[in-house]
Amino acid sequence: MTTSRRELTSTAPLRETMGAYYRSLGDAVERKSAPVAWCTSVGPAELLRALGFAVHFPENHAAMLGASRTANRYLPVAHAQGYSQDICSYLTSDVGAYLAGESPLTAFGLQGVPRADVLVFNTNQCRDVRDWFEWYGRTWNVPVIGINSPRSVGDVTDAEVEDVTAQLEALVPVLEGVAGRRLDNARLAEAIAAARDASSLWEQCLQTAAHRPAPFTFFDGTIHMGPAVVLRGAPEAAAYYRTLLAELEERTRTGVSAVPGEALRLYWDGMPVWGRLRALSTTFSEFRTAVVASTYCNSWIFSTLDPADPWRSMARSSVELFIARSDGPKERYIERMVKLYDVDGIVYHDCRTCPNNTNSRYGMPRRITERLGIPSLVLDGDVNDLRCFSDEQARTNIEGFVEQLADARALASRAAPA
Amino acid sequence: MSRYAGVDSGSWNTKAVIIDDDGIVLGTSVVRSGADLTAAAERSYDEALANAACEREDVTAVWATGFGRTAVPFADGSRTELDCHGRGAAFYVKGPLVVVDIGGQDAKVIRLDAQGQRLSHRMNRKCAAGTGSFLDEIALRLGIETAALDVLASQATEELELSSFCTVFAGTELLTLIRAGRRPSDLAMAAYRSLMKRVIAMDVFEGHVVATGGVVAYHPTMVALLSEAMHAEVTVPPHPQEMGAFGAALAARDGAVSVGPASAERAPIPLAERASDDA
């Protein structure tokens, strides 16, 4: 039996879409065709697009460093600058790569990361994004502005939404000054509508994995989410997801599974281990186990974006983001996903340098397992620092978890009445 | 009488066990794993067979476990050490139980229900603290063989604390305490206490506790400290060091389902995969 991952034909248009995006960043720098803004991955991208900025997402760049397994070359460079090995390895690998004068973007004709005219953060994810942007702001002497979001949000309140709405509106004068143009409300509504369209299509793509067998896994999702991240607010993202959705729906109609012989289904919580995507995908596939859904890929679904109520809906999307929530709403969310995708178990990635996107450190796995009777596994690792990841230990943990789930299923089938 | 075999290819030692239909141990062997895991597995298996007074053709099935479980080409199937230590312990002690396995390179806590089904497992993080390697490091600092650590600790009179979380820092702390005139026996006991604290922090210990692995086989002090910390008896089954191999032999006897691919089919971890594969 083959255990190889079944490639999606949409990978070719994905590469074209992403390549065109990276080249557009190069144009902005080389030909001065647009001012350049840096934006955190769940920052106010729609606003920046409406103002005509070319938008660079350094988290995407850091993920490229991780996936290309070059991050570990650059981490010590940033550590030596006083940026600790215990903080975000996205930040440290990205800053280290900049200091080393290297970037995977050179493959798309850029000299390196595009020099920013302004850096715009949103701390709904973590404080590190602000520190990251401030490093570049000091280096280039350009403005660093953003939104200081409420964290550990329980049920979202009007006060929290009003707070972020006001912060979003306060960005406009500075951004208009850098862009050299006034904000056009019609363009903002267009960008929000485009983001909403892409978000809805991306959600439909992800939810095809609720089908048995799943046509798409978390590992596929980490690659195919690219346009949802870097083209948020641009029409190209929705165009790509229409293509992907058509292929996934065809797979579900014809019973094509992402994991040959799918026997078990898992949910992944936490960051990917970018440098081990292929290895982990292969390992799970060998065990006929499909990782069908994840908090991570779902985080680029922004269902509340509304072009008719741009500011408040952008604010609400920011405040209600999974990573910004307290454990109560997070657990309710994961429980809904466990049921929707009908999974046998949950894998939590304890990401060494990303405490904000690690949900296994305050007792959550035990609580969810006790409530739902769904076993869980905690894998130690890191998003970009592979020194924090052990291949053999991960493999034994995964294989042991699969044995546990397979034995429980065999026992249940023996106990079931004939 | 049918015979079954288990081979536990561990990071430090390779163990083999031969059992009969009833799970009675007929022969065992422990050899150094070294760099050639396959050669060590062959040697250990042959030694265990000789101790059981039988030949390879007398064995109905042989299963492998341990970190080198895919490097045992003559195995008919494999299970992780998480499964095999639990399986072996449950043969001797009825559940619900918690199995604590402390090996040379890792520590495991495995929870089993009343039927011996695994409920969960925990492994130590990528770190020597909480494993047998910690004791090796401490013995080195004290200038004695690891095997002598237990006898030394039995002479302890003063309760000392090694406060560091890290094996390297604990070694430095130990040197400071030696220079401060502390007795080696008290330091040896402090090392065991440090190891015990790391292990009991790995999970909640509900149910009968069974300790396995090389550390408990050769360091009764560790068992006594675990028992003291849990306010309960800790059972050490026969052949604690060979418990993984014993569990693998039971898996062979019981015809457990081998979830992983056979060793020849297992794809190597593609360390050299290209960036474009993922992007």
- The Cα–Cα gap between B266 and B259 comes to 12
A138 vs chain B: nearest CA distance in angstroms?
A: 31
Q: What is the pLDDT of residue B261?
A: 59
Which H, E and C letters describe B204-255, residue by residue?
CCCCEEEEECHHHHHCHHHHHHHHHHHCCCEECCCCHHHHHHHHHHHHHHHC
For residue A273, give the chain B residue with the closest CA. Answer: B278
CA angle, residues B109, B113, B115, in degrees to nearest 5: 130
pLDDT at B276 over 60: no
User: Looking at the partner chain, which of B82, B119, B267 has a beta carbon nearest the beta carbon of A396?
Assistant: B82
Is residue B130 within 8 Å of B198, Cβ to Cβ?
yes
pLDDT at B130 over 50: yes
CA A184 to chain centre: 29
CB-CB neighbours of A415 under 10 Å: 7
CA angle, residues B131, B134, B137, in degrees to nearest 5: 150
- The Cα–Cα gap between B106 and B224 comes to 20
* Residues 6+ positions from A186 with CB-CB distance below 8 Å: none
For residue A378, give the chain B residue with the closest CA. Answer: B122
Per-residue pLDDT averaged across A183-206, rounded?
A: 98
- The Cα–Cα gap between A36 and A125 comes to 22
Q: What is the pLDDT of residue B128?
A: 67
Per-residue pLDDT averaged across B159-166, rounded?
A: 81
User: Looking at the partner chain, which of A287, A378, A393 has a beta carbon nearest the beta carbon of B260?
Assistant: A287
- The Cα–Cα gap between B150 and B218 comes to 8
Is residue A206 within 8 Å of A216, Cβ to Cβ?
yes
The answer to whether residue B105 neighbours chain A at the CB level (below 8 Å) is: no
- The Cα–Cα gap between B206 and B186 comes to 30
Contact state of B270 with A278 under an 8 Å Cβ cutoff: yes
Q: What is the pLDDT of residue A389?
A: 94
A272 preceded by cis ω (within 30°)? no
Query: Could you tell me the pLDDT band of residue B258, with boundaries at 50, 70 and 90?
Result: confident
- Residues in chain B within 8 Å Cβ distance of A279: 269-270, 273
Is residue A353 within 8 Å of A131, Cβ to Cβ?
no
Token output for A127 = 């404080």
Closest Cα partner for B61 from B7, B103, B105, B25?
A: B7
Residue-wise pLDDT for A341-399, tens only, equals 999 999 999 999 999 999 999 999 999 999 999 999 999 999 999 999 999 899 999 99
Number of residues that make up chain A: 418
CA A115 to chain centre: 23
- The Cα–Cα gap between A414 and A183 comes to 66
Q: What is the pLDDT of residue B169?
A: 82
Mutate to test the interface with A, among B121, B259, B276 (most CBs of A within 10 A): B259
Q: Which residues pair with A267 in a beta bridge?
A: A293, A346
pLDDT at B40 over 60: yes
B268 vs chain A: nearest CA distance in angstroms?
A: 9
- Residues in chain A within 8 Å Cβ distance of B279: 64, 67-68, 104, 223
For residue A388, give the chain B residue with the closest CA. Answer: B126
pLDDT at A1 over 70: no
pLDDT at B138 over 70: yes
Is residue A97 within 8 Å of A415, Cβ to Cβ?
no
User: Looking at the partner chain, which of B79, B115, B269 has a beta carbon nearest the beta carbon of A279?
Assistant: B269
Residue-wise pLDDT for B206-247, tens only, equals 889 999 998 999 999 999 999 999 999 999 999 999 999 999
The answer to whether residue B262 neighbours chain A at the CB level (below 8 Å) is: no
Angstrom distances, CA of residue B266 to CA of A276, A320, B207, B249 = 16, 43, 37, 22
- Residues in chain A within 8 Å Cβ distance of B261: 3, 286
User: Looking at the partner chain, which of A104, A390, A399 has a beta carbon nearest the beta carbon of B259?
Assistant: A399
B50 vs chain A: nearest CA distance in angstroms?
A: 31
Query: Could you tell me the pLDDT band of residue B126, with boundaries at 50, 70 and 90?
Result: low
Q: What is the pLDDT of residue A7?
A: 82
Share of chain B above pLDDT 90, in %: 69
- The Cα–Cα gap between A390 and A155 comes to 38
pLDDT at A217 over 80: yes
Residue-wise pLDDT for A68-117, tens only, equals 999 999 999 999 999 999 999 999 999 999 999 999 999 999 999 999 99
The answer to whether residue B119 neighbours chain A at the CB level (below 8 Å) is: yes
Of the given ranges (A12-26, A200-214, B189-203), which has the lowest mean pLDDT? Answer: B189-203
Contact state of A401 with B279 under an 8 Å Cβ cutoff: no
- Chain A residues with CB under 8 Å of a chain B CB are 3, 64, 67-70, 104, 223, 274, 277-279, 282-283, 286-287, 369, 375-376, 378, 380, 388-393, 395-397, 399-404, 406-408, 410-411
Pick the more confident residue, B272 or A174: A174
Angstrom distances, CA of residue B69 to CA of A156, A161, A395, B41, B235 = 50, 55, 12, 9, 27
- Residues in chain B within 8 Å Cβ distance of A399: 80, 259-260
Alpha-helix residue ranges (DSSP H) falling in A154-234: 158-179, 185-207, 218-224, 226-230
Q: What is the pLDDT of residue A24?
A: 96
Query: Could you tell me the pLDDT band of residue A5, with boundaries at 50, 70 and 90?
Result: low
Residue-wise pLDDT for A264-303, tens only, equals 999 999 999 999 999 999 999 999 999 999 999 999 999 9
Phi/psi at A194 (5° precision): -65, -40
Contact state of A406 with B257 under an 8 Å Cβ cutoff: yes
Closest Cα partner for A271 from A48, A67, A33, A20?
A: A67
DSSP β-ladder status, A264-269 and B13-20 = unpaired
- The Cα–Cα gap between B5 and B17 comes to 6
For residue B126, give the chain A residue with the closest CA. Answer: A390
- Residues in chain A within 8 Å Cβ distance of B122: 378
The answer to whether residue B277 neighbours chain A at the CB level (below 8 Å) is: yes
CB-CB neighbours of A299 under 10 Å: 18
Report the side by side order of strands in the sheet with A264-269. A289-294, A264-269, A345-351, A376-381
* Residues 6+ positions from B152 with CB-CB distance below 8 Å: B142, B144, B184, B185, B188
Per-residue pLDDT averaged across B69-90, rounded?
A: 96
Collect contacts of A298-303 with beta carbons under 8 A, ≥24 apart.
A298/A203, A298/A206, A298/A322, A298/A337, A299/A42, A299/A323, A300/A41, A300/A42, A300/A199, A300/A202, A300/A225, A300/A228, A300/A229, A300/A232, A301/A199, A301/A202, A301/A203, A301/A206, A302/A195, A302/A196, A302/A199, A303/A199, A303/A200, A303/A203
Per-residue pLDDT averaged across A215-237, rounded?
A: 97
Closest Cα partner for B96 from B121, B118, B80?
A: B118
Residue-wise pLDDT for A330-341, tens only, equals 999 999 999 999
- The Cα–Cα gap between B196 and B93 comes to 22
Size of interface A-B (CB pairs under 8 A): 94
Mean pLDDT of chain A, nearest integer: 95
pLDDT at A47 over 80: yes
- Residues in chain B within 8 Å Cβ distance of A282: 267, 270
- The Cα–Cα gap between B78 and B91 comes to 18
B106 vs chain A: nearest CA distance in angstroms?
A: 9
pLDDT at A124 over 80: yes
Contact state of B275 with A104 under an 8 Å Cβ cutoff: yes
- Residues in chain B within 8 Å Cβ distance of A286: 260-261, 266-267
Residue-wise pLDDT for A64-74, tens only, equals 999 999 999 99
Residue-wise pLDDT for B2-27, tens only, equals 999 999 999 889 999 999 999 999 99
Per-residue pLDDT averaged across A186-211, rounded?
A: 98
Per-residue pLDDT averaged across A31-45, rounded?
A: 95
Mean pLDDT of chain B, nearest integer: 89
Token output for A23 = 């080249």
The answer to whether residue B275 neighbours chain A at the CB level (below 8 Å) is: yes
Q: What is the pLDDT of residue B163?
A: 78
DSSP β-ladder status, B107-112 and B97-102 = antiparallel
Residue-wise pLDDT for A298-316, tens only, equals 999 999 999 999 999 999 9
- The Cα–Cα gap between A41 and A233 comes to 12
- Residues in chain B within 8 Å Cβ distance of A400: 80-83, 118, 121
pLDDT at B278 over 80: no
Contact state of A399 with B277 under an 8 Å Cβ cutoff: no
The answer to whether residue B259 neighbours chain A at the CB level (below 8 Å) is: yes
Per-residue pLDDT averaged across A151-160, rounded?
A: 96
